[in-house]
Amino acid sequence: MTQFNSATLRKRVLQMAYAGATVHVGCAFSIIEICAVLYRNHLHFPDGDPNAPGRDYFVLSKGHGVMAQYACLNELGWISDSDLARYFGDGTRLKGLSDTHVPGCEATSGSLGHGLPIGVGLALAAKLRGTAQHCYVVAGDGEMNEGTMWEALLFASHRKLDNLMLIIDENGFQAMGRTSEVLDLGNLAAKLTSFGFETREVDGHNEGALDEAVRQLRSTANGQPKAIVARTVKGKGVSFMENENAWHYTRLSPETFQRAMIELEEQ
């Protein structure tokens, strides 16, 4: 089986959410391919150590999508199957938001607007140390409502942090509705370019396109921070969850869990 297989990762997300009787399935599903491509092909961890001093950084700014990251960390052997089975349970280290107590989680996030500023700081520190480390930040399009995100973009461009890559999960929804209705940000790619970022737009579920965009951007050390606007589908992979924002906060029942697992088995 291919490591970081998207259907397998989605099944693990479902198993976690069902075991923990918790939410945020849709927003985890929309970043599955983004996480898979980064962990499979781009993130460098010397000796496979999540705490290696020379590691690349992955900051999940949209920390409520953390089940997608946990599924990848399980593939790497950094968290166990028993950890996944106890997700969101009493005494577990796997909370419903990204938490630095978990190996591989670089930031405690979920309170939106903070992950990118942390990632900018990590990228700046790597520049000051003269290392070859890269920092990847995954944020949601709804999260781009936060002023701290735009302050961080300005700072990254000013400091020429071309070792920073922001990937925006543009699924068109946030907790309370469509992003275009809550606060319309217009053309995010054009805005990022105007802020000095070298920017690409891709289908966020096309792993080949994602991989190529990351490779192209990493190949240019031109003083410009990097950005990818990844067009995604909230709830991607399970038909009755796709573009249904109710799955931001809906818990799985035995019936919906089985229906979703059967769909993923057929992929």
**Rounded mean pLDDT of 123-142?**
98
Residue 46 C-beta-side C-alpha neighbours within 13 Å:
7
With cut-offs at 50, 70 and 90, classify the pLDDT of residue 158.
Answer: very high
Cβ pair 261, 237 in contact under 8 A: no
Nearest to 56 by CA among 66, 45, 48: 45
Is pLDDT at 2 greater than 80 in this prediction? no
The dihedral through the CA atoms of 99, 58, 160, 232 has a sign that is negative
Looking at residue 1, what is its pLDDT? 45
Q: In this structure, what DSSP letter does residue 137 have?
A: E
Helix or strand or coil: residue 53?
coil
Strand ranges for 204-264 from DSSP E: 226-231
How far is 70 from 43, CA to CA, in rounded Å? 15
How far is 116 from 132, CA to CA, in rounded Å? 19
Bridge partners, residue 169, by sequence: 140, 230
**Rounded mean pLDDT of 190-199?**
98
Inside any domain, residue 57:
yes
How far is 22 from 25, CA to CA, in rounded Å? 8
User: Which CATH number covers residue 223?
Assistant: 3.40.50.970
In 3-state terms the chain splits into helix, strand, coil percentages (rounded to 5) of: 45, 10, 40
Region of residue 88 (phi > 0: left; psi between -120 and 50: alpha; otherwise: beta) = left
Percent of the chain with pLDDT strictly greater than 90: 98
Supply the range of the domain harboring residue 88: 6-265
Looking at residue 267, what is its pLDDT? 87
Is pLDDT at 259 greater than 50 in this prediction? yes
Give the burial string for 52-84 (b: 16+ CB within 10 Å, else e): eeebbbbbbbbbbbbbbbbbbbbbbebbeeebb
Inside any domain, residue 1:
no
Inside any domain, residue 127:
yes
Q: How confident is the model over 210-247, as pLDDT tens digits?
A: 999 999 999 999 999 999 999 999 999 999 999 999 99
With cut-offs at 50, 70 and 90, classify the pLDDT of residue 191.
Answer: very high
Helix or strand or coil: residue 167?
strand
Average pLDDT across the chain, whole number:
97
Looking at residue 192, what is its pLDDT? 98
Inside any domain, residue 27:
yes
Q: How many domains does the chain have?
A: 1
How far is 42 from 36, CA to CA, in rounded Å? 10
